[in-house]
Amino acid sequence: MLHLSEQSESLWQEIPKINYSPLTEDLDCDVCIVGGGITGLTVAYHCLQRGHRVVVIDRDQMAAHETAHTSAHLSNALDDTYQTLRKMHGMNGMRLAYDSHTQAIDRIEEIVFENSIDCDFQRVSGYLFLDAETPRNFLEKELTCVHEAGGENVELFENAQPGSFQLGPALHYPRQAQFHPLKYTFGLAQAVERLGGKIFAQTPAVGIRGGKEARVKTSRGNVIRCQSIVVATNTPVNDVVTMHTKIAAYRSYLIAVRLKKNWLEPALLWDTASPYHYIRSINRENGEQILLIGGADHRTGQAAHPEDRYNDLRAWTRDFLMHEPEIIAKWSGQIIEPVDALGYIGRNPGDAENVFIVTGDSGHGLTHGTIAGIMLPDLIEKKTHAWQELYDPSRLKIRGLEQYVEENFRTARQYSDWLSSGDVDSTADISCGHGAVIRNGLNKIAAYRDEHGILHTFSAVCPHLKGLVHWNEAESTWDCPCHGSRFTRTGKVLNGPAIEGLSPVETGETQRPQLIESQTPPPPPFSPGLDFT
């Protein structure tokens, strides 16, 4: 069995990191961007090109989270299929989706050359091929929709062969792309600084207020006064309820497999399984070829044994390659799925008109974040943009209501954890390197025992909307099954929407945990926003 004893790192994270200092003073700017991944930095770059003064802050280092855990596909072959997009958004919406993601790939290529970013950018072909359960006419229907969307150069191959193996029937998408996401993002950060942008790491936002006196308050107490705010944190940390009824957090898993040189030509592959598998290669300087295989997705915090997902990928890869794979790395990432197959970019619903969000990338965070960089400067300047209605966060499509109800039911069902027993009877049952939730009366305790045998105990209540966290054995993290907040083994925030960590609980090894007065049963329908006192 594959097992991770600590939170995994991707192959991309092997390169030297660029460390930025925290903010230690109050600042004034035109645009404050919360989130320093590819989305936040791309928005910053385009705003600076328009002459805006920009400040970017991140609670950790730049691109330390989802940008670093992607497979780095750059594609206009969207995961939810153009058949679904046409059903959800109509012919025009489908065409705009194709156009926006196509332009995003082109824009990334332009940024690479504008700034001489050495990031292994390469135009490649993409192939959508059939899994064992999908009939061939699925590809024919998809091809018709892709042609209607604007992809006239997409073809149906009877037996695609992107290397030394055969895929069988597959749709061929020319002019897709791949790159090294951290080399690109670090180069983009340097370009932001050259244009006069200011970047601060280790600077969590704890208060976000729009309006005439817009400002962002940091955990150190410093305030950034600005004209506009962009929340680019994968899932919006400034929105407590509304947007979280339209999106759902999923974990997706990847393994890196060592191959013989040139086994696969540079290409992007996807199958039609549900959840689907996605594949690409990396050619290293030493001549070694690495294959990345991803998939096995599930709602965050809602898999009983997430560590088994790596074994599922290994088994699938063994069948695909027809030999036992040599796995050299494994990691997972957080995908935010929208209820109607397209992400959200624009003004945060119910907020001041100068607060913008970017979320719901549906597995295409790199192009989706670039679309945000293209769009948002226009919206910040109160201009219109051809894509703004399509990506409007306030939309709720009638055809997306079924998925909306299903995802919210799956979220609500998780609050029944308050009535369940603990994972184990007592902390004595928790071995080194593992965690478990235990019950004490009406309360739940998240307990982790480190490699030295020291027990760390916290309230199991997620600070966002009081869901109960689950222990993730694959990543050694605490994951909230309601809205996807994730915490390190010692309770610090990894993923929003929570902005605070799990509350520590004092307990001794030989006694039952103390009652926690702050714990309460499931939340009311609405909750106040971020504290700004």
Cα dihedral across residues 362, 364, 365, 367: positive or negative? negative
Q: Which CATH architecture has domain 420-495?
A: 3-layer Sandwich (2.102)
- Residues (pLDDT < 70) of the chain are 1-7, 261-262, 397-420, 507-533
Q: Are 84 and 402 in contact (CB under 8 A)?
A: no
CA geometry: angle 107, 110, 112, nearest 5 deg: 110
**Would you list the domain boundaries of the chain?**
122-176+249-335, 420-495
Phi, psi angles (nearest 5°) of residue 328? -110, -15
CB 218 within 8 A of CB 224: yes
Structure tokens at 48: 């600076």
CA distance 350 to 360: 18
Q: How far is CA 54 from CA 211, 277, 346, in A?
A: 18, 38, 18
Question: Where does 124-241 have alpha helices with state H?
Answer: 137-149, 181-194
Taken as a whole, the chain contains a residue count of 533
Contact by Cβ (8 Å): 179, 72: yes
Residue that the structure tokens 């802050």 belong to: 57
Strands 168-178, 155-160: pairing kind: antiparallel
346 CA to centre of own chain: 18
**CB-based burial of residue 51 (10 Å sphere; 0-12 exposed, 13-18 middle, 19+ buried)?**
exposed
Amino acid 259: pLDDT = 85
Tokens of 381: 């300047």
Q: Positive or negative CA dihedral for 95, 248, 62, 47?
A: positive
Query: Is the distance from CB of 337 to CB of 247 less than 8 angstroms?
Result: yes
Helices within 286-329 (DSSP H only): 308-321
Q: Give the up-direction half-sphere exposure of residue 266: CA atoms within 13 A in the CB hemisphere.
A: 17
Measure the CA dihedral 356/76/362/60, to 10°: -60
CATH number, domain 122-176+249-335: 3.30.9.10
